[in-house]
Amino acid sequence: MSQARFEYEVSREQWEMEHDPAYNNWLDATYAQWWADYDKTGEDMNINDMKESRYLKKEDVGDGVIATIAGLKQENLAMENQPDEMKWVMSFRENLKPMVMNSTNAQLCAKALNSPETDDWTGKQVILFNDPNVSFGGKLTGGIRIRKNQQAAPVPAAPATDLSDSIPF
């Protein structure tokens, strides 16, 4: 059988199969079963979950995670074969991806930690959260923001003093 004749036979068989009511019923049932099985997992798929990133995304922090700052450094974030694009990146002691800093988050971090000196930030805790009011390109997209950790470690009480000592006047 020639290649052209073979392709004709295959395409004719494919067409007949796709227009066969029994095949279509089987296909519908198979798809319905697949969807029912998928739906049982309880997981909603979101395209933002499909993109793997080396850096922290808003989906990684949700309503808020406490993060201890390990340091800041500049990294080249340019795509391969593109000019360098140096950005500041904050790393954390917890098992979190590093976070690419922008001007707003740098200012928020300085305010939360009461210091514009980034060297003072190391070892301090902040809360990273997804703020739905962040806009990009004129559209509300949501994004990571930084705020002060209100659950700072309590200050230890001063030791009790012995008030029975005589106090000379």
Residue 72 lies in a domain: yes
Residue 44 lies in a domain: no
User: Domain tally for the chain?
Assistant: 2
37: confidence class by pLDDT, cuts 50, 70, 90 = low
- Per-chain mean pLDDT for the chain: 81
Residue 49 lies in a domain: no
Residue 42 lies in a domain: no
Type and span of the H or E element at 129 = strand 125-131
Residues 21 and 70 in one domain: no
pTM of the model: 0.61
User: What number is the average pLDDT over the span 55-68?
Assistant: 93
pLDDT digits (tens, 9 = 90+) for 67-123: 999 999 999 999 899 999 999 999 999 999 999 999 999 999 999 999 999 999 999
Residues 9 and 67 in one domain: no
Range of the domain at 19: 3-37
How would you write 9-57 as a 3-class SS string? HHHHHHHHHHCCHHHHHHHHHHHHHHHHHHHHCCCCCCHHHHCCCCCCC
Residues 129 and 66 in one domain: yes
Residue 159 lies in a domain: no
Residues 69 and 126 in one domain: yes
130 Cβ neighbours under 8 A, 6+ residues apart: 58, 59, 61, 62, 63, 142, 143, 144, 145
Residue 101 lies in a domain: yes
Burial classification of residue 90, based on how many CB atoms lie within 10 Å of its CB (0-12 exposed, 13-18 middle, 19 or more buried):
buried
